[in-house]
Amino acid sequence: MILKLELKLDPCPGRGGGLNTWMFKTAAHLARHGVSQAEAQQFISAQAGDSARPGEVDRQVEQGYAAATGEEPVRIESGEFIITKKPRTPQWPDRDDALIREVVETRRASIEDIIKASPLPPDTTRHPVDVLAELHGAKGDELLCMAPRPASGFCTLTFNKWAAGIRRRLAAGKPSQTQDWEMVVPNLMKAPTGTTKEGRPYRPRTSENACDPNQMRFVVVEVDVSHDDPICSTLGATPQEICASVILSKLDLAQVRMVVQSGGKSLHAWVDIEGKNAAEVQAFFRELTSLGVDHRGRLPEQQFRLPNGYRADKKARQNLIFWNPRP
């Protein structure tokens, strides 16, 4: 297992080059991938060799596993480590199907209802970068992070560079590649790249180079319900109808700037939270989680479907169906 992961790990530096940091981050990375602590210790010892001083590998593996699991490491007499679990209180409430049923039965809604509620006509042909530039009030130098696919290809560029690339392609008679991209980070980035939690530097989408959690402009509300979820058959409703019902019943539409079809089962409502801090955003999502809303929509680095982009796996446009840019 470690041999497969080794290709994704940064090379082990020598002493004075961040060796202890590398050992700690590598241990945490291996812990998250299910590698046993003993295997990780053996692997890291082999990589560090004589560069590690006595006890350093043990200490960094112990701390790395503790950081990755959020649990307390305890040394036992044999020199091995065991993990004693701490009791935890769930941070997010479970989904409450009774509440969802109440919302849908009180105000059953559809995509057509979302479109009718839109303050401005949603233009499904408008270029995604133009949509986002207006939404953010971008002047050109702000950093936007987008990707052609969810799992690869993210890059962070200024609006000016995105627009220049689009103009060059159009002038050459080529379609804009941006139109066929899928994903975007709703909030602007504060730096072009950052380091991941596993210690990989120069990545375009990390929590390190995302905006400050206390200075977010948008969160995205998505009800995470699949077509085969029993609640759909119970209510006789599609996932999109459940999403639409929650959006129109539970959100302040004056603060909803945009609703995007995912190209699949869900709708993504971009809610303007300017002026709210991270604790207030946490409380906002705690109220909605019972309705099946995905709480990851509060994360500043979280990606979502690009408005008017293209979803290749479904061969579908991610249409903008509600448009309410800030006055």
Output 232 or 199, whichever has higher pLDDT. 232
**Domain endpoint, select from 26, 59, 84:** 84
Task: Round to whole Å and give the CA distance between 84 and 74.
Answer: 7
pLDDT tens digits, one per residue of 89-119? 557 899 999 999 999 999 999 999 999 999 9
116 and 66, same domain (yes or no): no
pLDDT tens digits, one per residue of 147-201? 876 555 799 999 999 989 888 888 888 877 676 789 999 999 999 999 987 778 8
42 and 135, same domain (yes or no): no
Q: Look up the domain containing 74 and give its range.
A: 2-84
DSSP code string of 226-279: -TT-HHHHHHT--HHHHHHHHHHHHS-TTTEEEEEE-SSS-EEEEEE-TT--HH
141 and 259, same domain (yes or no): yes
Rg (CA), the chain: 23
Instruction: Could you list the beta-strand ranges (E) of the chain.
Output: 72-75, 81-84, 143-147, 155-158, 183-184, 218-221, 256-261, 267-272, 304-305, 309-311, 316-318, 320-323
304 and 225, same domain (yes or no): yes
308, two tokens: 């008017």
Residue 239 has pLDDT above 90, yes or no: yes
Examine residue 315 and state whether it is found in any structural domain, yes or no: yes
Q: What is the count of structural domains for the chain?
A: 2
DSSP annotation of 221 reads E
Examine residue 305 and state whether it is found in any structural domain, yes or no: yes
Examine residue 90 and state whether it is found in any structural domain, yes or no: no
212 and 135, same domain (yes or no): yes
183 and 65, same domain (yes or no): no
Examine residue 91 and state whether it is found in any structural domain, yes or no: no
Output 90 or 83, whichever has higher pLDDT. 90
Quick one: CA dihedral 20, 62, 302, 178, positive or negative? positive
